[in-house]
């Protein structure tokens, strides 16, 4: 009995000391907030209306909001990296031939300073190896605003040997006053325990988000890991700051920390963390004499479209735009769309499904499916997520809709946001349909320049087509089909990324000359130009009228066609409100009047 009593007493003492030791760390670190948050910083910094970046004398940096998300009053003046605006707890480790060094040590080459719109610092870590850190505020893929920080490191071998060099970036995340907000990762969900992804066995997530409250977040932030113009990392770790940094004492010291801690971090998937850190690592590679490589990532504010519904509140997150790289390829592509579902019903919900609704010009990545079951049943107040990997073909450009429909308890709700797809330079792109806007596939698209055939293609299954690598100039597009009348139209090709989609509408040969064919493109309408097109068998007098649903005429156009073919008028929607309109086309030829009435929706951004 006495041994048992002593054992229990010792166990209680050990647990007490362990607990107090952990809390001592937390209290010590948290107490630094009042020390490291002066009203203004004198350290080099860059900022705009959204965020501020501060760099310290050792090259360590912090990030925080100024105005943050203009639509979220909760996130003004909130922290995104711990200690802001006093850098110390985040750092970068350089591994050179098996030895680890913290960036900011060695021989200073460029003292931390502002250069143009960036913060720059450079150190010769060891003789002949120079590492330059560049911090730049950039436009966010997620929000479309300049509210993300690009973190880039150029490593250059100035010597004559072939060293093995790698880099590990450790960031001490914080959302406002929350030092342990859960990470929400593509293809996995909420992460509150230690988790890692190691390439090539695991697919490194394209991005992940962090928010403390789904319905009313204080701060919504996002890490961009792959598809951001840098080599993909070899390892991503979401874990505990104390283990990731190696800090045991000297909290607040911008020179302290264990250079090997980010590299040697071993996860324990049974341990939850309440002080989150992110480790992004690129394994050592051989550097030839004079060779340099640049690694980097992005971190800042994230964006989400939100719809309140029962039984789920829905959130949709996706890039606001994609870009074109130096090889004329889209990045990121594929891109990821995430739908969050929070059970708002007050009871468990079973049997729900979500479906991604493809629009022309977008396709599912290999192995992806449109519809997904929400399994297992979702308890009340729980948040789950599903994501889709989507590719842009380049066949339809401008603002395209990304939408997901949730089906639950006999009801459905659709949530939608848009993504901007730039046009690939020197291309002809668009869609082939019939007059009922149904895609046509059994069509050949021939492109002629000065009478010579220079390119030919057939449409994808959604009727869209793309022809690339053309020289800027004016071409003739000829669409031929066994079932429909051929269509010839001039097309201008430019080197820019804002060229219009070409809508090729084919009509069946007229058997009934009383019939008048007409269509509007695009429909629905988001921006100018809006083209109302009609087909006349011979020269005709044509009137185009546009009405509201209440019957009020808002515009009238009169024109004369010259022979048979497709003709049209352009409607400027700048002065009309969003809504549904009708257009009536009246054409007279051969002594007979023909009329067609169709509907058009205006949904301006």
Is 544 contained in some domain? yes
Please give the pLDDT value at position 228. Answer: 77
Domain end (from 471, 489, 509): 509
- Which tens digit of pLDDT belongs to each residue from 73-88? 888 999 999 999 999 9
Task: Check whether residue 149 and residue 135 sit in a common domain.
Answer: yes
- Which tens digit of pLDDT belongs to each residue from 52-66? 999 999 999 999 999
Domain range for residue 412? 305-421
Quick check: 320 pLDDT over 60? Answer: yes
Is 20 contained in some domain? no
What are residue 5's phi and psi, to 5 degrees?
Answer: -65, -45
Count of Cβ atoms closer than 10 Å to residue 435 Cβ: 18
In the chain, how many domains are there? Answer: 4
Is 313 contained in some domain? yes
* Residue 246 DSSP class: -
Average pLDDT rounded to a whole number, residues 251-272: 87
- The pair of three-digit structure tokens given for residue 254, joined into one six-digit string: 């911008």
Task: Check whether residue 110 and residue 211 sit in a common domain.
Answer: yes
CATH number for the domain harbouring residue 485: 2.60.40.1120
Query: Whose CA is closest to 210, among 170, 169, 175, 240?
Result: 175
- Which tens digit of pLDDT belongs to each residue from 321-356? 999 988 889 988 999 999 999 999 999 999 999 999
Is 34 contained in some domain? no
Quick check: 502 pLDDT over 70? Answer: yes
Q: Using CA atoms, how far apart are residues 28 and 251, in angstroms rounded to an integer?
A: 7
CB 29 within 8 A of CB 275: yes
Count of Cβ atoms closer than 10 Å to residue 170 Cβ: 26
Res. 551 pLDDT band, cuts 50 70 90: confident
* Half-sphere CA count of 468, side-chain side, radius 13 A: 10
Count of Cβ atoms closer than 10 Å to residue 23 Cβ: 10
Is 90 contained in some domain? yes
Task: Check whether residue 150 and residue 289 sit in a common domain.
Answer: yes
- Which tens digit of pLDDT belongs to each residue from 458-496? 999 999 999 999 999 999 999 999 888 888 888 888 776
CATH number for the domain harbouring residue 343: 2.60.40.10
Strands 335-343 and 383-392: antiparallel
Please give the pLDDT value at position 16. Answer: 39
- Cis amide linkage into residue 334, ω under 30° from 0: yes
Domain end (from 301, 324, 346): 301
At residue 28, the 3 state secondary structure works out as helix
Q: Taking the mean position of all CA atoms in its chain, how far away is CA 410?
A: 32
Is 600 contained in some domain? yes
Torsion sign, CA atoms 212, 190, 245, 293:
negative
- Which tens digit of pLDDT belongs to each residue from 200-250? 988 899 889 988 777 777 889 999 998 778 999 999 999 989 889 988 766
Q: Using CA atoms, how far apart are residues 40 and 44, in angstroms rounded to an integer?
A: 11
- Mean pLDDT computed over every residue of the chain: 87
How do the residues of the chain divide into helix, strand and coil, expressed in percent and rounded to 5? 5, 50, 45
Task: Check whether residue 317 and residue 446 sit in a common domain.
Answer: no
Task: Check whether residue 534 and residue 451 sit in a common domain.
Answer: no
CATH number for the domain harbouring residue 529: 2.60.40.1930
Quick check: 397 pLDDT over 80? Answer: yes
Domain end (from 460, 482, 509): 509
Is 261 contained in some domain? yes
- The pair of three-digit structure tokens given for residue 195, joined into one six-digit string: 């988790």
Please give the pLDDT value at position 509. Answer: 63
Q: Using CA atoms, how far apart are residues 359 and 325, in angstroms rounded to an integer?
A: 24
Quick check: 151 pLDDT over 70? Answer: yes
Task: Check whether residue 85 and residue 148 sit in a common domain.
Answer: yes
Is 78 contained in some domain? yes
Task: Check whether residue 248 and residue 354 sit in a common domain.
Answer: no
Task: Check whether residue 74 and residue 84 sit in a common domain.
Answer: yes
Res. 10 pLDDT band, cuts 50 70 90: very low
Quick check: 359 pLDDT over 90? Answer: yes
Task: Check whether residue 585 and residue 448 sit in a common domain.
Answer: no
Average pLDDT rounded to a whole number, residues 394-418: 95
* Half-sphere CA count of 24, side-chain side, radius 13 A: 10
Q: Using CA atoms, how far apart are residues 561 and 263, in angstroms rounded to an integer?
A: 73
Task: Check whether residue 549 and residue 504 sit in a common domain.
Answer: no
- The pair of three-digit structure tokens given for residue 151, joined into one six-digit string: 């973190």
Q: Which residue has the tokens 């630094």?
A: 32
Task: Check whether residue 540 and residue 460 sit in a common domain.
Answer: no
CATH number for the domain harbouring residue 267: 2.70.98
Quick check: 253 pLDDT over 70? Answer: yes
Res. 549 pLDDT band, cuts 50 70 90: confident
Quick check: 39 pLDDT over 50? Answer: no
Res. 408 pLDDT band, cuts 50 70 90: very high
Count of Cβ atoms closer than 10 Å to residue 366 Cβ: 8
Please give the pLDDT value at position 513. Answer: 45
Please give the pLDDT value at position 149. Answer: 97
Lowest mean pLDDT among 13-27, 438-452, 575-589: 13-27
Please give the pLDDT value at position 31. Answer: 43
Please give the pLDDT value at position 6. Answer: 35
Task: Check whether residue 193 and residue 206 sit in a common domain.
Answer: yes
């Amino acid at each position: 009995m006495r041994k048992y009593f002593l054992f229990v007493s010792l166990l209680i003492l050990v647990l007490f000391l362990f607990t107090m030791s952990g809390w001592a760390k937390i209290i010590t670190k948290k107490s630094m907030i009042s020390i490291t948050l002066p009203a203004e910083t004198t350290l080099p910094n860059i900022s705009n209306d959204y965020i501020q970046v501060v760099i310290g004398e050792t090259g360590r940096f912090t990030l925080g909001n100024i105005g943050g998300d203009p639509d979220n009053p909760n996130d003004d003046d909130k922290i995104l990296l711990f200690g802001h605006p006093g850098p110390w707890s985040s750092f970068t480790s350089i591994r050179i031939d098996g030895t680890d060094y913290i960036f900011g040590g060695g021989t200073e080459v460029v003292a931390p300073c502002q250069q143009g719109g960036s913060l720059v610092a450079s150190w010769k870590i060891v003789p002949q190896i120079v590492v330059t850190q560049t911090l730049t505020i950039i436009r966010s893929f997620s929000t479309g605003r300049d509210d993300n920080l690009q973190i880039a490191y150029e490593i250059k071998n100035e010597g004559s040997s072939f060293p093995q060099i790698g880099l590990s970036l450790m960031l001490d995340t914080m959302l406002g006053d929350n030092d342990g907000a859960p990470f929400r990762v593509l293809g996995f969900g909420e992460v509150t325990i230690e988790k890692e992804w190691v390439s090539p066995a695991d697919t490194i997530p394209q991005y992940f988000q962090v928010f403390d409250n789904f319905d009313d977040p204080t701060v919504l932030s996002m890490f961009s890991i792959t598809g951001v113009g840098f080599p993909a990392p070899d390892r991503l770790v979401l874990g505990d700051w104390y283990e990731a940094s190696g800090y045991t004492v000297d909290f607040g010291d911008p020179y302290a920390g264990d250079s090997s801690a980010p590299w040697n971090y071993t996860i324990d998937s049974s341990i939850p963390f309440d002080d989150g850190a992110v480790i992004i690592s690129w394994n050592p590679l051989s550097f030839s004499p004079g060779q340099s490589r640049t690694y980097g990532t992005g971190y800042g504010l994230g964006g989400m479209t939100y719809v309140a519904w029962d039984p789920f509140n829905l959130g949709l997150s996706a890039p606001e735009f994609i870009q074109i790289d130096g090889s004329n390829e889209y990045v990121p592509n594929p891109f990821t769309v995430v739908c969050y579902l929070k059970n708002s019903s007050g009871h468990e919900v079973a049997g729900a499904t979500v479906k991604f609704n493809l629009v022309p010009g977008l396709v599912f990545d290999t192995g992806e499916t449109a519809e997904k079951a929400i399994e297992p049943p979702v308890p009340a107040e729980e948040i789950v997520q599903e994501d889709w990997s989507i590719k842009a073909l380049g066949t339809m450009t401008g603002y395209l809709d990304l939408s997901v429909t949730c089906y639950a308890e006999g009801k459905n709700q659709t949530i939608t946001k848009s993504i901007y797809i730039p046009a690939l330079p020197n291309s002809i792109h668009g869609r082939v349909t019939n007059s009922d806007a149904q895609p046509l596939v059994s069509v050949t698209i021939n492109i002629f320049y000065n009478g010579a055939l220079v390119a030919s293609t057939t449409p994808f299954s959604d009727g869209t087509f793309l022809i690339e690598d053309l020289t800027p100039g004016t071409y003739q597009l000829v669409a031929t089909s066994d079932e429909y009348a051929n269509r010839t139209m001039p097309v201008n090709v430019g080197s820019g990324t804002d060229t219009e989609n070409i809508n090729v509408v084919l009509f069946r040969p007229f058997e009934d000359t009383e019939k008048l064919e007409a269509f509007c493109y695009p429909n629905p309408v988001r921006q100018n130009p809006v083209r109302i097109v009609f087909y006349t068998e011979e020269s005709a007098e044509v009137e185009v009228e546009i009405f509201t649903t209440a019957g009020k005429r808002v515009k009238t156009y009169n024109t004369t066609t010259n022979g048979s073919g497709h003709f049209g008028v352009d409607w400027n929607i700048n002065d009309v409100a969003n809504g549904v309109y009708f257009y009536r086309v009246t054409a007279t030829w051969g002594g007979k009047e023909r009329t067609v009435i169709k509907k058009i929706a205006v949904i301006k951004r």
